[in-house]
């Protein structure tokens, strides 16, 4: 039985990944970690350790203590926050990756998952059905760290035999834990505001099309990729991954089917400039061919799930 450590487990993806992996591998085999105890639901749900992803000793102590052999490195500073703190974003996103890759190079860690992002692409990349191998000139610090990280993952695999696996996530839409500091965050906020206020002021223009994915699909993709036989995982930088491509207007139309008096207004801010450099849609045929990726949620099905779960969640708080 493998022993799994999730670094950055309190975040949007990390928290749901923790719950899923515990279901699959047993509570005692999945250790959640983050830098604070703030996410109490997560902290109280099983084994939790304070680990600072930037501090090699902190990661190492936890790995030794729990005899960890698999790491999911989910800690990162996302695109919008990264533009405010460029050096901090670089340090966090790169140092954490090196600490984990080096533990794998030493043979202590046998398997690594590290998320990349559509932010690796930039203004010179073809925007529609962006291919797996394409021009990559990212314009955000976050995108630069993810692209550099991809190259290092591939390098560690080729030169040191490290079993690292990665996905270029689009915007992830979920209801359990809020995203933190991304350009695609509107697509989560809009559902919360629909339930709380029946109105939302969007920080992107109505026709800004971006690739997105419902959390359940993102979690399944990680589980499937990590379960795949090593020889089927042919790409060791990071796989393109697609589900739905949507604009704020389309999301608001989908919400209106359930909440007819929902209102949206638009007040684009600095995040519009970031969104304008990213793809509208992604060609993920290599992920489909190599290890059988297939999404289950479209916009309508996801909207139903989001609204149902968020209205139950807020009803409980009242």
Residues labelled catalytic: 142
Q: Does 169 bind ligand SER (CB under 6 A)?
A: yes
Identity of the residue, 78 or 103, whose beta carbon is nearer to ligand SER in the bound complex: 78
The token pair at 302 is: 């996801």
Using the Cα atoms of residue 192, residue 257, residue 247 and residue 225 in order, give the sign of their dihedral.
positive
For residue 181, what are the CA distances in angstroms to 77, 78, 166, 207? 7, 6, 21, 21
Establish if 174 lies at the interface with ligand SER (CB under 6 A): no
| Interface with ligand SER, residue 182, by CB under 6 A | yes
Which of 33, 58, 117, 240 binds ligand SER (CB under 6 A)? It is 117
| Chain centre distance of CA 58 | 23
d(CA 101, CA 245): 32
- Of 58 and 245, which has the nearer Cβ to ligand SER? 245
Give the tokens for residue 227: 């379960």
Q: Which is nearer to ligand SER, 58 or 184 (CB)?
A: 184
- Residue pointed to by tokens 């629909």: 194
Q: Which residue has the tokens 């419902």?
A: 214
Stretch that binds ligand SER, among 17-25, 54-62, 151-159, 180-188 (CB under 6 A): 180-188
Residue 122 CB neighbour total at 10 angstroms: 19
CA 8 remoteness from chain centre = 11
CA–CA dist 161, 112 (Å, integer): 12
171 binds ligand SER (CB under 6 A): yes
Identify the DSSP state of 209: -
Using CB positions, name the residue nearest to ligand SER.
182
Q: How many residues bind to ligand SER according to rule CB under 6 A?
A: 11
Stretch that binds ligand SER, among 25-33, 43-51, 130-138, 179-187 (CB under 6 A): 179-187
| 183 lies in the binding site for ligand SER (CB under 6 A) | yes
Determine, following the binding rule CB under 6 A, whether residue 59 of this chain makes contact with ligand SER. Answer: no
**Window 64 to 103, contacts with ligand SER (CB under 6 A):** 78-79
Min CB(252)–ligand SER separation in Å: 19
Give the interface with ligand SER as residue ranges (CB under 6 A): 78-79, 117-119, 142, 169, 171, 182-184
């Amino acid at each position: 039985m493998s022993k799994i450590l999730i670094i950055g487990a309190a975040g949007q993806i990390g928290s749901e990944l923790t719950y899923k992996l515990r279901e699959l591998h047993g509570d005692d085999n999945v250790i959640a970690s983050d830098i604070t105890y703030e996410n109490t639901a997560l902290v109280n749900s099983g084994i939790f350790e304070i680990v600072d992803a930037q501090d090699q000793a902190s990661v190492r102590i936890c790995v030794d203590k729990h005899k960890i052999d698999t790491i999911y490195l989910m800690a990162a500073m996302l695109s919008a926050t990264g533009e405010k703190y460029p050096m901090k974003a670089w340090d966090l996103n790169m140092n954490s990756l090196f600490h984990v890759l080096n533990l794998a190079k030493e043979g202590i860690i046998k398997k690594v998952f590290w998320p990349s992002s559509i932010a690796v692409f930039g203004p010179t990349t073809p925007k529609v059905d962006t291919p797996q191998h394409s021009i990559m000139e990212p314009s955000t610090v976050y995108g630069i760290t993810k692209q550099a990280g991809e190259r290092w993952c591939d390098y560690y695999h080729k030169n040191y035999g490290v079993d690292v696996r990665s996905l270029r996530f689009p915007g992830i839409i979920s209801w359990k834990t809020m995203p933190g500091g991304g350009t695609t965050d509107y697509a989560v906020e809009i559902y919360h505001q629909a339930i709380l206020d029946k109105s939302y002021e969007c920080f992107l223009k109505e026709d800004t099309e971006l690739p997105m994915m419902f959390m359940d699909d993102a979690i399944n993709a990680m589980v499937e990729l990590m379960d795949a036989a090593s020889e089927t995982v042919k790409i060791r930088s990071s796989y393109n991954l697609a589900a739905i491509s949507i604009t704020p207007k389309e999301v608001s139309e989908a919400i209106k089917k359930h909440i007819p008096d929902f209102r949206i207004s638009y007040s684009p801010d600095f995040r519009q400039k970031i969104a304008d450099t990213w793809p509208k849609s992604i060609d993920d045929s290599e992920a489909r061919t190599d290890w059988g990726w297939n999404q289950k949620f479209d916009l309508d099905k996801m909207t139903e799930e989001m609204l149902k779960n968020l209205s139950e969640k807020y009803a409980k708080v009242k």
